[in-house]
Chain A
Amino acid sequence: MSTQTPLLARYAEGLFWMARYMERVENIARLIDVTQGFEMPSQAAESWYALIRINADEEGFADRGYERDAASVKRFYLTDADNPTSVPAAIAAARLNARTLRPVISTEMWMQLNMLHRELLHIPPASLSGDQLSRLCARIKQGVQEHTGITEGTFFRDEGWFFYQLGRSIERADQTTRLLDIQYHLLVPYGPEERRVTEMTQWGGVLRAAAGHHAFRRVAPPGFSPADVVRFLLTDTSFPRSVLLCVSQIEWQIATLRSRYGLRGTVPALERIEELRAALAARSVEAVVEAGLHQFLDALQSDFILLASEIGTAFFRDWRPLAQTQEQTQT
């Protein structure tokens, strides 16, 4: 074999974003699922509007003329293709990236994504209500998991695979912080003891949405508290959706791109990762909750945005000199 041609910067960026959008599709389904579980008879509208808040979608939601009710939030995220944070928009963005990536991804990856795209672009309104909603969320999750499995089994493991994994890890870490954030936005209008029980039920819902309920039970201390759930989702070293585990993956992925493929310009990203690690280790979870979990999660989310931009600067940015003016920048 001759010297391997390094990956086109445009392909690397496309892989990074395709993975992010797919992970996002899965997480919207998880967020909807958990919110449905939280829905309280007298507080339905508020429970659902919390989703809008944690995704910082207040403006887009209002601009598109929605009322603050449950049905509107579901439509906003599941069937409104013009809302850039919806499932149809995210799957369309993933497919658009996949289309530019067809020379490098496997035919099976493309075919599955192409079919999932067609399916999710036309979610029937009836699927948003009653017991159908939960089935819809399960179907969306399953569709992304099929993608993940096909990718694992067929995608060539060169630099491109690492960029794909980077996109997935960053998006997953970010989404876990949003899942955690749900709790902050929910009003729990009960007395102390009722409140404790209700809260634990809700945390159980968060864990289920993150597919971590049983794993948590295996490692949780007897008589666990909400802080234990937060600790698990933030810093467990074995749970695939914990923020710390994602950060470790990101670190390994960037380090491998540096050592195995000799890529330069990784230092700012690696330093950012060190800061993220430090932030996660600096204080006890109890102290974090005391000082305000929401602010803490907000800071993590900002760090992930900066990290993505540092990866972009190192590997993607200069491939298309007109990127800024052509509104090609993805978010």
Chain B
Amino acid sequence: MTAADPDPFAGYEQGPYFCELQAGRAGDCGTIAAVRGRIAEIGLAALRERAAAAETDLINLGVTFTVYSQASAIDRILPFDCVPRIITAPEWRTLESGVKQRVAALNAFLYDIYHDRKILRDGVIPAELVLGNANYRPEMEGFAVPFGTYVHICGIDIVRDEAGGFRVLEDNARTPSGVSYVVENRHLMYRAFPDLMAGMRLRPVDDYGRRLRAALTEIAPESVPDPQVVLLSPGIYNSAYFEHVFLAREMGVPLVEGADLFVEDDRVFMRTIAGRWPVHSIYRRIGDDFLDPTVFRPDSLLGVPGLVGAWRRGNVALANAVGTGVADDKAIYAYMPRIIRYYLDQDPILPNVETHICREPNGLAYTLDRLDQLVVKPVGESGGYGITIGPRASRAELEAARAALLADPANWISQPVIGLSVAPTLVDDGLRPRHLDLRPFAVTGRETWVLPGGLTRVAMREGSLVVNSSQGGGSKDTWVLDTEPEAHDVAPALTGGASP
């Protein structure tokens, strides 16, 4: 830091929000202050230089997602911010147990609604909300999945309010994406900021592929001693194709497309140079609708005819199971605290954001009265589309939202505006507060494992609360401090120890 290169934190004001780089909170034993000190030492000019080099690195490596417009396909990187987001050990314990609890409740709920429907009979959730849901799959009724696990890969979007409390914003129980960035961001930090990373005791993130493969092996048909796992992708034109490549490589399994697979006698095979080869467990990154044209959309070329039949016969495992979309629906989300209590007899470790259900007259009236104060969301959309943020909306936008609500109340929920936490983020003016969220990833076979940290998405625009990559959001490396007495810096070895 010199006169020519002033303190990069100069002019940083966190405002009324919780700051994720605030030192001295529970579980911080000086690490956060050290990180701030190191960033100041690197200085703004070097930060910019290295951030630019890091982004070039991502382009060259092809760590990209693809944006399609009418005429062209552009490979974009997820903008990367070099200031890490830090989670302390006790904070992570809360998050980890809260995520596990939530996954357990989601799975119990899915088993129940596709079997006994006790929760509906007990009147905890309106039956039509489940049975009339577009993502409810009658094909799943009465079908048992191994270990009762429907949601093998779950990404739960969590925010922090002004007081620093964690709140769940959304459950993603279909095919949540973003985990590849968690791992790539960490690698990038080690390459570009060795001086920032030196000696930091962080929970490692590169165990994800091994854990995922283990879960996919666990759920394969029991009779197969050495199951063949594959990742089923829609192919290179899918915007998350890089992530599919990443996961296939990290697991060491083939990345297949629908046309690489075929079903014969209710068994799944892939087409190899040596002819057919049996497949036993599939991590599918294709939505239910496109999975099997003989069961769902008949016009789908992405799927595999007969796949669902083979699955129902127990000859192949599918992750996630078909029909999980009913559980991560925004309308069901409102009931999650009750769902957790109903199945687990526990209070939610991670509370929801207060949610008003517009299909209910009270919820609708409440929402219409306070449209200018609430966030109104369609229940079926993802990616931040269709949202109206009351306090930021124009009069015309509010009127449009009102009309949409009145036309189809059941399609909407509303929530208070949460002042999402902020973290210093490198922008043109220097380090400035930007809002962010967190998506931890949970992998479940027999049991649930949560990748330490998760994807931190950051809204790069000043004041923006929308962090989605499709809306210009970026990402940060997410550190979980490993400052417990029994710290373990490295992932457990796969084979015997290397002691001399």
Interface set of A (CB-CB < 8 Å, partner B)? 2-3, 5-12, 96, 99-100, 102-103, 107, 110-111, 114-115, 159, 163, 257, 261-264, 315-316, 318-322
The count of chain B contact residues (Cβ–Cβ below 8 Å) is 26
Which residue in chain A gives the minimum CB-CB distance to B247? A103
Asked whether A103 and B245 contact (CB < 8 A) given A2-B226, A114-B62, the answer is yes
Query: Are A10 and B260 in touch, CB under 8 angstroms?
Result: yes
Query: Are B248 and A9 in touch, CB under 8 angstroms?
Result: no
Question: Within the complex, what minimum Cβ distance (angstroms) separates B302 from chain A?
Answer: 12
B29 within 8 A of A: no
B273 within 8 A of A: yes
Contacts of B326 in A (CB 8 A): none
Query: Are B273 and A159 in touch, CB under 8 angstroms?
Result: yes
Question: Within the complex, what minimum Cβ distance (angstroms) separates A262 from chain B?
Answer: 7
Q: Which of B226, B242, B271, B301 interacts with A9 by CB under 8 Å?
A: B271
Report the 3 A-B pairs with minimum CB-CB distance, sorted nearest first: A6-B272, A6-B274, A102-B245
**Mostly helix, strand, loop or mixed at chain A's interface?**
helix
Which residue in chain B gives the minimum CB-CB distance to A320? B259
Q: Roughly how many angstroms separate A330 CA and B236 CA in the complex, as a whole number?
A: 17
Binary per-residue interface labels of chain B (271-300) against chain A in the complex, 1 for a CB within 8 Å, 0 otherwise: 111110100000000000000000000000
Interface centre among A5, A7, A9, A263 (most CB of B within 10 A): A5
Query: Are B273 and A263 in touch, CB under 8 angstroms?
Result: yes
B255 within 8 A of A: yes
Which residue in chain A gives the minimum CB-CB distance to B244? A103
Q: Roughly how many angstroms separate A107 CA and B180 CA in the complex, as a whole number?
A: 15
Asked whether A8 and B236 contact (CB < 8 A) given A103-B245, A103-B248, A114-B60, the answer is no
Q: Which of A7, A102, A319 interacts with B259 by CB under 8 Å?
A: A319
Question: Within the complex, what minimum Cβ distance (angstroms) separates B399 from chain A?
Answer: 46
Which residue in chain A gives the minimum CB-CB distance to B262? A321
Asked whether A7 and B245 contact (CB < 8 A) given A100-B236, A319-B259, the answer is no
Query: Are B226 and A5 in touch, CB under 8 angstroms?
Result: no
B270 within 8 A of A: yes
Q: Roughly how many angstroms separate A24 CA and B69 CA in the complex, as a whole number?
A: 31
Interface centre among B226, B249, B273 (most CB of A within 10 A): B273
Q: Roughly how many angstroms separate A315 CA and B272 CA in the complex, as a whole number?
A: 8
Q: Roughly how many angstroms separate A294 CA and B259 CA in the complex, as a whole number?
A: 42
Query: Are A6 and B60 in touch, CB under 8 angstroms?
Result: no
Which B residues, 250 to 274, have Cβ-Cβ distances below 8 Å to chain A? 254-257, 259-260, 270-274
Total inter-chain residue pairs, C-beta < 8 Å: 77
Q: Roughly how many angstroms separate A115 CA and B60 CA in the complex, as a whole number?
A: 6
Contacts of A264 in B (CB 8 A): 274-275
Query: Are A99 and B236 in touch, CB under 8 angstroms?
Result: yes
Question: Within the complex, what minimum Cβ distance (angstroms) separates A92 from chain B?
Answer: 12
Contacts of B235 in A (CB 8 A): 100
Query: Are B274 and A263 in touch, CB under 8 angstroms?
Result: yes
B228 within 8 A of A: yes
Q: Roughly how many angstroms separate A140 CA and B255 CA in the complex, as a whole number?
A: 31
Query: Are A102 and B271 in touch, CB under 8 angstroms?
Result: no
Question: Within the complex, what minimum Cβ distance (angstroms) separates A181 from chain B?
Answer: 33
Which residue in chain A gives the minimum CB-CB distance to B256? A8
Contacts of A261 in B (CB 8 A): 273-274
Q: Roughly how many angstroms separate A10 CA and B235 CA in the complex, as a whole number?
A: 12
Q: Roughly how many angstroms separate A107 CA and B249 CA in the complex, as a whole number?
A: 10
Query: Are A8 and B254 in touch, CB under 8 angstroms?
Result: yes
Query: Are B274 and A10 in touch, CB under 8 angstroms?
Result: no
Q: Which of A102, A103, A315, A322 interacts with B273 by CB under 8 Å?
A: A315
Question: Within the complex, what minimum Cβ distance (angstroms) separates B275 from chain A?
Answer: 8
Contacts of B396 in A (CB 8 A): none
Question: Within the complex, what minimum Cβ distance (angstroms) separates A268 from chain B?
Answer: 16
Which B residues, 44 to 70, have Cβ-Cβ distances below 8 Å to chain A? 60-62
Asked whether A103 and B60 contact (CB < 8 A) given A10-B260, A263-B274, A318-B271, the answer is no
Query: Are A7 and B273 in touch, CB under 8 angstroms?
Result: yes
Which residue in chain A gives the minimum CB-CB distance to B255? A103
Contacts of B236 in A (CB 8 A): 96, 99-100
Which residue in chain B gives the minimum CB-CB distance to A110? B62
Query: Are B62 and A10 in touch, CB under 8 angstroms?
Result: no
Q: Roughly how many angstroms separate A7 CA and B228 CA in the complex, as a whole number?
A: 13
Asked whether A103 and B254 contact (CB < 8 A) given A3-B226, A319-B259, the answer is yes
Contacts of A7 in B (CB 8 A): 272-274
Q: Roughly how many angstroms separate A73 CA and B274 CA in the complex, as a whole number?
A: 43
Q: Which of B61, B228, B245, B271 interacts with A5 by CB under 8 Å?
A: B228
Query: Are A322 and B259 in touch, CB under 8 angstroms?
Result: yes
Q: Roughly how many angstroms separate A326 CA and B199 CA in the complex, as a whole number?
A: 54
Asked whether A111 and B272 contact (CB < 8 A) given A6-B277, A103-B248, the answer is no
Query: Are A321 and B259 in touch, CB under 8 angstroms?
Result: yes
Query: Are B271 and A8 in touch, CB under 8 angstroms?
Result: yes
Binary per-residue interface labels of chain B (448-487) against chain A in the complex, 1 for a CB within 8 Å, 0 otherwise: 0000000000000000000000000000000000000000
Query: Are A319 and B260 in touch, CB under 8 angstroms?
Result: yes
Asked whether A8 and B272 contact (CB < 8 A) given A100-B236, A103-B249, the answer is yes
Interface centre among B61, B270, B272 (most CB of A within 10 A): B272
Can you list 14 pairs linking A and B with CB atoms under 8 Å apart? A6-B272, A6-B274, A6-B277, A7-B272, A9-B272, A10-B259, A10-B260, A100-B236, A102-B242, A114-B61, A261-B273, A263-B273, A318-B271, A320-B259
Contacts of A257 in B (CB 8 A): 273
Question: Within the complex, what minimum Cβ distance (angstroms) separates A111 from chain B?
Answer: 5
Contacts of A102 in B (CB 8 A): 62, 242, 245, 249
Contacts of A5 in B (CB 8 A): 228, 254, 272, 277
Which residue in chain B gives the minimum CB-CB distance to A11? B254
Question: Within the complex, what minimum Cβ distance (angstroms) separates B307 from chain A?
Answer: 16
Query: Are B61 and A111 in touch, CB under 8 angstroms?
Result: yes
Q: Roughly how many angstroms separate A2 CA and B248 CA in the complex, as a whole number?
A: 18
Contacts of B248 in A (CB 8 A): 103
Question: Within the complex, what minimum Cβ distance (angstroms) separates B208 from chain A?
Answer: 16
Q: Roughly how many angstroms separate A8 CA and B242 CA in the complex, as a whole number?
A: 19
Contacts of A114 in B (CB 8 A): 60-62
Query: Are B60 and A8 in touch, CB under 8 angstroms?
Result: no
Which residue in chain A gives the minimum CB-CB distance to B277? A6
Contacts of B277 in A (CB 8 A): 5-6
Q: Roughly how many angstroms separate A107 CA and B61 CA in the complex, as a whole number?
A: 7
Q: Roughly how many angstroms separate A309 CA and B249 CA in the complex, as a whole number?
A: 30
Interface centre among B256, B260, B274, B275 (most CB of A within 10 A): B274
